[in-house]
């Protein structure tokens, strides 16, 4: 509450070199009206200084609401937001010194590129000469030097988003928030801007909080990913962790492809599925063992049981589709209980399977993960 009077001091010698801020979310809740389930439901999250953290989840999972509470556009129903240990829950957005990049660019249409980038500096009463230098630096940073006098509508979508990036970092914010910044761009542009954002993060050392529903984007960019489902964080970890060690069926399904078998864990090292008894390796996963997840690159197919290496877990399947993806073949499988799964085979391995073929799917016990429902 007192924070509204403690004005953020303007940087003494402005230069785009802010140190990353630490953001803590403590038991954050947001309800819209009483009847609906909460949009954000008891979220706890520590975002480390300089970290690239992604909030990933399907639409309506609460990730954007969480972002809006961090930046100050939405007021939490309960809980707290802290920046470097200071409570900023009730601080209005214009005093938080956070940069934000919006979906669809959101440039000021009545201002030129340079005026757009200078906007936050003018708010901070930065002297004109300093402003000019910083704007030039910021535009250089996003590869738009010399575009100063263009109007936003004269730029391509990718260029507009670069201007938005420059505008959001030029005043050395402690945190940069990005709300699905790439979703309006086409595939190619998206990839080049992903690299741009990654480079910006490496160069500036800022804390990045990135919201997306695109799992590939999250995997390539992030240091850590927080996966949202129905207002809660259901998993938090590095992309590799979450991919190889999903904790729940939802996480496994949402991040990458997988085959999920639903059976029963009958003993510490035994999992029963239909008539099969599978071995469970020591490092089985953190879940309580409701389901077994196998990633497609771990799943192999054999013509019959005889050609399966000993010790592998197996399941009978019918090939329903084979498609060629350039670097690999993707094979869709249907299992006896209706489970649908998939495997990928590197090109070069002669693809003898065709739709309709009956095969045996197999994998090493240590390659499977037991997850909760």
Which chain residues interact with other proteins by CB under 8 A?
30, 32, 64-65, 68, 71-75, 92-95, 97-100, 102-104, 106, 108-110, 119-120, 122-124, 151-153, 167-168, 171, 177, 179
DSSP-derived secondary structure letter, 180: S
Closest CA to 78 of 43, 136, 150, 30: 30
* Distance in angstroms (rounded) separating the CA atoms of residues 177 and 93: 12
Instruction: State which residue, 121 or 344, has the beta carbon closest to other proteins.
Output: 121
Judged by beta carbon, residue 95 or residue 244, the one nearer other proteins is 95
Cα–Cα distance for residue pair 104/365, rounded to 1 Å: 46
Nearest to other proteins of 167, 224 (CB atom): 167
Contact 297, 263 (CB under 8 A): no
Give me the least distance between CB of 53 and other proteins, in Å please: 18
Q: Which is nearer to other proteins, 178 or 218 (CB)?
A: 178
**What's the closest the beta carbon of residue 119 comes to other proteins, in angstroms?**
5
Q: Tell me whether residue 230 or residue 276 sits nearer to other proteins (CB atom).
A: 230
CB of 234 to other proteins, least distance (A): 22
Closest CB to other proteins among residues 99, 237:
99
DSSP 242-289: HHHS--BHHHHHHSS--EEEE-EEEETTEEEETTEEEE--SS--SS-S
Q: Which is nearer to other proteins, 90 or 330 (CB)?
A: 90
Distance in Å, CB of 126 to other proteins, minimum: 11
DSSP 82-142: EETTEE-TTS-GGGS-EEEE-TT----TTS-HHHHHHHHHHHTT--HHHHHHHHHHHHHHT
CB of 56 to other proteins, least distance (A): 18
Report the nearest approach of other proteins to the CB of residue 149 (Å). 12
Residue 85 CB, nearest distance to other proteins (Å)?
22
Sequence-ordered alpha helix ranges (H) in the chain? 63-71, 113-123, 128-141, 157-169, 187-204, 215-221, 239-244, 249-254
């Amino acid at each position: 509450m007192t924070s509204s009077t403690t004005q953020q001091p303007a940087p003494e010698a402005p230069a785009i070199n802010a140190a990353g801020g630490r953001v803590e979310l403590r038991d954050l809740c947001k309800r819209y009206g009483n009847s609906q389930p909460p949009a954000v439901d008891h979220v706890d999250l520590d975002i480390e200084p300089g970290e690239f953290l992604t909030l990933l989840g399907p639409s309506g999972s609460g990730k954007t609401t969480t972002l809006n509470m961090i930046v100050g556009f939405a007021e939490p129903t309960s809980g707290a937001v802290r920046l470097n240990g200071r409570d900023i829950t009730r601080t209005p957005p214009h005093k938080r010194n956070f940069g934000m990049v919006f979906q669809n660019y959101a440039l000021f249409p009545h201002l030129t590129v340079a005026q757009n980038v200078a906007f936050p500096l003018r708010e901070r009463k930065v002297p004109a000469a300093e402003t000019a230098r910083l704007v030039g630096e910021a535009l250089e940073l996003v590869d738009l030097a010399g575009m100063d006098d263009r109007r936003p509508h004269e730029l391509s979508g990718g260029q507009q988003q670069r201007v938005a990036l420059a505008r959001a970092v030029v005043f050395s914010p402690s945190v940069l928030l990005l709300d699905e910044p790439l979703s309006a761009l086409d595939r190619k542009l998206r990839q080049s801007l992903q690299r741009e954002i990654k480079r910006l993060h490496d160069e500036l050392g800022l804390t990045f909080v990135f919201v997306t529903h695109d799992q590939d984007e999250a995997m390539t960019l992030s240091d850590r990913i927080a996966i949202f489902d129905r207002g809660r964080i259901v998993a938090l970890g590095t992309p590799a962790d979450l991919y190889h060690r999903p904790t729940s069926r939802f996480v496994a399904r949402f991040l990458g492809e997988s085959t999920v078998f639903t059976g029963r864990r009958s003993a510490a090292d035994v999992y029963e599925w239909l008539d099969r008894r599978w071995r469970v390796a020591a490092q089985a996963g953190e879940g309580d063992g409701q389901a077994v997840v196998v990633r497609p690159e771990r799943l192999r197919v054999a013509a019959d049981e005889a050609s399966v290496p000993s010790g592998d877990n197996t399941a009978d399947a019918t090939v329903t589709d084979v498609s060629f993806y350039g670097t690999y073949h993707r094979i869709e499988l249907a299992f006896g209980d209706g489970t649908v799964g998939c495997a990928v085979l590197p090109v070069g391995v002669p693809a003898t399977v065709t739709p309709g073929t009956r095969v045996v799917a197999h994998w090493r016990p240590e390659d499977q993960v037991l997850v909760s429902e």
